[in-house]
Amino acid sequence: MEDKRYKILLVEDDRLDQMAFKRLVKEENLPYDYTIAGSVAQATQILGGEKFDLVFVDYLLGDGTAFDVLESIVDTAAVFATGTGSEELAVKAMKSGASDYLIKDPSRNYLKVLPEVVKNAIRHKKAEDELKQYHEKLVELVKERTEQLAEEKEVLAVTLSSMGDAVIAVDAQNQITLFNKTAEQLTGWRFEEVRGKPVDDIIRIVNEQTKQPANSPIDGVLESREIESGSDHDALIARTGRECPISATAAPIRRNDGAMTGIVMVLRDVSQQREIDRMKSDFISSVSHELRTPLTSIKAYAETMLDDPNMPQSTKQEFLQIINEESDRLTNLINGILDISKIESGTIEIIRKPINIASVAKRAAESLEYVAGKNKVRLQTDIADHLPELLGDENKIFSMITNLINNAIKFTPENGTVSVSAHLVNNELVIKVSDTGMGIPKDDMAKIFSRFYRVHRPGKQIQGTGLGLAIVKEIVTRHDGRIDVESEIDKGSTFTVYLPACSREAATLTP
Ligand code: ADP
């Protein structure tokens, strides 16, 4: 540090003072490389082209004052010199950027302290520069972090608003601090309306079965200070009073030091899962029932025959006929379950060959004539001749049509009629199965093609598994077709299947 030489600009118009400065440097052997400017103009010019470690400037100059010089000094230490009695001026100079000041006395004693003042001013300037740089860096860092935080906040906000789950956060007082879009949709409240409100006033969870208030997982977290889940039977009561099955989980929000500052709760609408669960358990009970009924009857008839070896031939024949039919029912049921599991696993196989839809439809109707007769239902057909062929799986199409006819017979009371027709309309094969039966309630229409779905018909014992129409729909879709249903309660239903007809050439070309 002591070895370093300083580049100094002396701005002084008094020749005696200039000489005194030069003498001082020489006598004291000061490490200064100096330049002398005798006026403001000269100083400004020099400062425009050169950089100095320090500018030592006298207050009164021939063509101006030290303030004019200070104006053209950037990033350089400056020491201001003035005559006795002008301390005020000196303070003003410091405010304008000078690092220090010296009060000139007539006997030039001030020169004694000059070297120390210069050294300090340069050191002070250096420290100031470093501080300035550090400050600038800090500002830059704060700016960057703020931008980063804003970005993260934005990402978080977008994520929260696009989440399919409702997210609700509360503070230490259990008052709502966050409420995302899904929470708004699920509860019917808007964030503006619930912000700062006690969460218990807004989120009402009940037991789906008993309808009694259920323990909120938020209360659980308040007690345990750990993640808590609600029960499997939780339902949320929305603002409108609508009930929605939910799965609820809550977790503590902790600061870095571990202190709990709030709780976040996630609610998921599980109506679909609960509906599927309900359908599955309905299915299991109806399948067990369906399996048990034919089995019980097969066993009963077989036992009666075994117990009575002398049974007349005609009775034996009748019993065997029943056993045979019941076995068919069992086979159908088991095939249905197998088909459905193939549909679920996506492995249902369609073997495409050109098929004669008219003969398949006729065969399907014929196969059910016996059942129709037994149910005292008239079964009529109207099947066009010379229909174009269909590229498809004959067994699947046959089972699709028999399923529809079977349903039509099943849901039609005695003396009703079931009609099966097949025509070509607008180059599409249109197969209609209509009945004069009990019809389908409007609310159920959209669901009858879902797996396991059965219309609830109070007071009526109609057997089934809820699989038939799901299989029908899958077969139709896999043949690039579509199915429609029209129905009126106590008047009847019509199921219409549209399948693409294929020309002979296409049929032979397609494997
Ligand atoms: P399942 O017949 O085994 O109950 P499906 O999947 O074949 O199951 O049919 C689903 C529901 O659609 C039935 O429970 C029934 O209520 C209704 N349905 C189907 N076909 C008819 C029809 N032709 N007339 C009235 N209701 C019908």
Percent of the residues in the chain that have a pLDDT greater than 90, as a whole number: 60
Return the top range by mean pLDDT from 28-42, 157-171, 346-360, 495-509: 28-42
35 closest CA partner among 23, 50, 15, 20? 50
Q: Phi and psi dihedrals of 327, rounded to 5?
A: -65, -40
Q: Tell how far the Cα of 332 is from the centroid of ligand 1, in angstroms.
A: 16
CATH placement of domain 353-509: 3.30.565.10
Coil, strand or helix at 419: strand
Rounded mean pLDDT of 79-103? Answer: 81
Mean pLDDT of 425-454: 93
Amino acid at 466: G
84 vs 82, residue with greater confidence: 82
DSSP label at residue 197: S
Work out the average pLDDT over 41-62: 92
CATH superfamily of 165-269: PAS domain (3.30.450.20)
For 361, the token pair is: 């439809």
In the chain, domain spans: 1-147, 165-269, 273-348, 353-509
Model confidence at 337, pLDDT cuts 50, 70, 90, reads confident
User: Is any ligand 1 atom within 6 A of the Cβ of residue 420?
Assistant: no
Dist CA 199 CA 263 (whole Å): 11
Instruction: Name the DSSP class of 215.
Output: P
Nearest CA to ligand 1 atom 3: 464
Q: Which own/partner contact pairs does 341-344 have at CB distance under 8 Å and 24+ positions apart? A: 343/451, 343/470, 343/471, 343/474, 344/451
**pTM reported for the whole predicted model:** 0.49
Instruction: Confirm or reject CATH 3.40.50.9100 for domain 273-348, answering yes or no.
Output: no
**Residue 34 backbone dihedrals phi, psi, to 5 degrees:** -115, 155
Residue 361: C-alpha distances to residues 350, 403, 407 (Å)? 18, 12, 15
How many other C-beta atoms can be found within 10 angstroms of the C-beta atom of residue 99?
22
Tell how far CA 440 is from the center of its chain: 37
1-147: CATH topology is Rossmann fold (3.40.50)
- Give pLDDT tens digits for 448-467: 998 778 898 888 878 777 88
HSE toward the beta carbon, residue 484, CA cutoff 13 A: 7
pLDDT at 434: 98
Residue nearest to atom 7 of ligand 1 (CA): 468
| Candidate of 290, 411, 450, 462 to mutate for ligand 1, largest count of ligand atoms within 8 Å of Cβ | 411
Ligand 1 nearest-atom number relative to CA 467: 6
Side chain identity at residue 157, one-letter code: A
pLDDT tens, residue by residue, 281-316? 777 777 787 788 889 999 999 999 999 989 999 999
> For residue 114, which amino acid is it?
L
Find out whether the beta carbon of 448 lies less than 6 Å from any atom of ligand 1: yes
Q: CA 184, CA 173: separation in Å to the nearest integer?
A: 21
Mutate to test the pocket of ligand 1, among 289, 444, 454, 491 (most ligand atoms within 8 A of CB): 454
